[in-house]
Amino acid sequence: MRFGGSGWKPGSRRDRRRGRTPDRSTERGADRVFILILAAFGLLALGLVLVIGFLST
């Protein structure tokens, strides 16, 4: 039994091609969002380290 074609298998590439535009632009957007999220987490981590450092002194 295939679980309703829920898309958890590598065989779902056909389903991706069907009814969608090429994902190059969306992949670029996802990369930008991912980089922005990473940068935000990095800044948060730095801020926390600085705040803890100032409070501990």
pTM of model > 0.75: no
Question: What pLDDT does residue 15 have?
Answer: 56
**Whether 5 contacts 12, CB under 8 Å:** yes
Which amino acid, residue 23?
Answer: D
pLDDT in tens, 10-21: 555 555 555 555
Radius of gyration of the chain (CA): 21
> Is the pLDDT at 52 greater than 60, yes or no?
yes
